[in-house]
């Protein structure tokens, strides 16, 4: 059985400039559990009081049955750290220790045999507190292979049922990672392996896939790929990749976009529009040949339907566009043109070298310029609106979001940064239905006030 360990609350918070509040930590953990993540690394409690309080809140939700994921407390191989993590009643304590020669010499100031004794003591000490233990072999990818096996066996014999093989500086290669993990599994078959892949050379997803093929059963990830330096394996990407390449379900794909937006809001780290899976452009097509293919059969340029991820496809109009794309765009607005007129419109578009893209109204204006007549676009079949929601103080935004999803007519709910907490997209067949939906949204428990804006045109 393969699963995901999400470390957004531990590794992710080690991203420069990122600091989650206690409430944010709890909301993120709840969202991760809702998304089906097997394990949540809730933080390193000795780092700060807010992390401790966050873990307490997460463990409380676990006891109440709100969170189903296994909760993990992070710890150095130090008795004080281990005791504190175990005292919070987490399901598992994760103990880490650098095992490469450079870590042993330059960081720990110790030798290999002494390190083995320390690892054994730390794992046994944690097990004596009645918790499950994962040992993380930090910098395992640069360690002497023979010594790595000694470390894994030592941790196993001391009581660890899982060992994380950490590619701490991202030097593993996808072409060798599978064999590397297969070899460890052969040498130590009675312990479960994790892969913790850093993304320094952009190989984290590929290395994680290869590790699973080699026998790893848990992949460490963070939402949006947050983490030290350039981060680790992005949850949304590896979640889809495991499903597509290996047929393994590790996360609810329809939850990924909302989860990505939540962490983007709380981390303050904006997601690039061309980011895989959850970026704004992930299902936006541009080149005329591509758009023509998509209009004929979406599978020509999409490996997964956007609807599976709770998203929709779109395409832009600019100098790369073809006749079919422009025709379909205009038909959506109730405008039908002959091929000759379409060609003239396309020529006009290509003449404007500084136009990055054409919005709907820009395209209509251009058509009016070419035809010399005023167009009457078809009125929308549905009324669309966007509701900005402000939540009551001390209310979990995630709980409000969950209730909003139950309102008929609500199409999308996003947690956002800024003055408001949540953006709700709704559709209605007429103004009467629209007002009813708005009133239902306003009546959701935990909402303080709302502002509604009608969608006039889609860009």
- Does the pLDDT value for residue 315 go beyond 90? no
- Does the pLDDT value for residue 148 go beyond 90? yes
Tell me, what's the pLDDT at 417?
80
Set out the domains of the chain in order of their start, with CATH numbers: 3-267 (3.20.20.70), 284-371 (4.10.430.20), 383-454 (3.30.70.920)
Of all residues in the chain, what percent carry a pLDDT higher than 90? 79
The tens digit of pLDDT for each residue in 348-358 reads: 999 887 777 88
What's the whole-number average pLDDT of the chain?
94
Lowest mean pLDDT: which of 10-14, 61-65, 316-320? 316-320
pLDDT confidence tier of residue 189, bands split at 50, 70 and 90:
very high
The tens digit of pLDDT for each residue in 235-273 reads: 999 999 999 999 999 999 999 998 998 999 899 898 999
Mean pLDDT of the region 100-124: 99
Consult the annotation and say whether 74 binds a ligand: yes
* Longest CA–CA separation in the chain, Å: 86
Tell me, what's the pLDDT at 459?
46
- Does the pLDDT value for residue 379 go beyond 90? no
121, 129, 245, 290: which is the annotated catalytic residue? Answer: 290
| Run of H or E including 402 | helix 397-404
Consult the annotation and say whether 198 binds a ligand: yes
Q: Which of 49-63, 265-279, 379-393 has the highest mean pLDDT?
A: 49-63
Tell me, what's the pLDDT at 381?
66
* CA 313 – CA 41 distance, rounded (Å): 34
Consult the annotation and say whether 10 binds a ligand: yes
Q: Is 121 a catalytic residue?
A: no
Provide the 8-state DSSP code for 127.
H
Print burial letters for 52-78: b (CB count within 10 Å at least 16), e (below 16): bbbbbbbbebbeeeebebbbbbbbebe
Tell me, what's the pLDDT at 87?
98
Q: Is 177 exposed, middle or buried (0-12, 13-18, 19+ CB in 10 A)?
A: buried
Residue 102's CB is within 10 A of a number of other CB atoms, namely 12
Consult the annotation and say whether 196 binds a ligand: yes
Provide the 8-state DSSP code for 107.
I
């Amino acid at each position: 059985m393969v699963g995901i360990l999400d470390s957004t609350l531990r590794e992710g918070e080690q991203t420069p400039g990122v600091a989650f509040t206690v409430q944010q930590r709890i909301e993120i953990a709840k969202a991760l559990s809702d998304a089906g993540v097997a394990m949540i690394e809730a933080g390193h409690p000795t780092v700060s009081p807010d992390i401790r309080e966050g873990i307490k809140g997460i463990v409380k939700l676990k006891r109440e049955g709100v969170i189903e994921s296994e909760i993990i407390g992070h710890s150095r191989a130090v008795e004080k750290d281990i005791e504190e993590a175990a005292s919070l009643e987490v399901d598992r304590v994760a103990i880490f220790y650098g095992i490469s020669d450079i870590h042993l010499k330059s960081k720990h100031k110790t030798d290999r045999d002494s390190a083995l004794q320390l690892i054994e003591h730390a794992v046994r000490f944690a097990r004596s507190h009645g918790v499950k233990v994962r040992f993380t072999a930090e910098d395992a990818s640069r360690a002497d292979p023979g010594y790595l096996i000694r470390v894994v066996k030592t941790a196993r014999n001391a009581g660890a049922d899982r060992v994380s093989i950490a590619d701490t500086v991202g030097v593993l290669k996808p072409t060798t990672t599978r064999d590397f993990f297969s070899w460890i599994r052969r040498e130590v078959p009675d312990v479960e392996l994790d892969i913790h892949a850093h993304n320094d050379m952009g190989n984290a997803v590929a290395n994680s896939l290869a590790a699973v093929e080699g026998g790893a059963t848990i992949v460490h990830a963070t939402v949006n790929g947050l983490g030290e330096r350039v981060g680790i394996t992005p949850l949304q990407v590896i979640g889809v990749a495991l499903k597509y390449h290996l047929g393994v379900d590790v996360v609810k794909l329809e939850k990924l976009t909302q989860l990505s937006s939540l962490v983007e809001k709380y981390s303050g780290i904006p997601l690039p529009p061309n980011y895989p899976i959850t970026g704004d452009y992930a299902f936006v097509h541009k080149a005329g040949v591509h758009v023509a293919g998509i209009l004929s059969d979406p599978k020509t340029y999409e490996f997964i339907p956007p609807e599976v991820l709770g998203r929709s496809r779109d395409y832009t109009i600019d100098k790369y566009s073809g006749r079919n794309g422009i025709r379909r765009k205009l038909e959506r607005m109730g405008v039908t043109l002959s091929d000759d007129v379409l060609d003239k419109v396309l020529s006009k578009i290509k003449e404007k070298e500084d136009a990055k893209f054409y919005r709907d109204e820009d395209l209509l204006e251009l058509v009016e310029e070419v035809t010399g007549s005023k167009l009457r676009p078809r009125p929308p079949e549905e009324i669309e609106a966007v509701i900005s929601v402000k939540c009551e103080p001390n209310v979990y935004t995630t709980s409000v979001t969950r209730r909003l999803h139950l309102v008929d007519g609500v199409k999308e709910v996003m947690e956002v940064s800024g003055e408001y907490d949540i953006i709700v997209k709704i559709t209605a067949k007429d103004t009467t239905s629209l007002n009813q939906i708005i009133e239902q949204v306003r009546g959701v428990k935990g909402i303080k006030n709302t502002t509604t804006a009608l969608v006039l045109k889609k860009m």
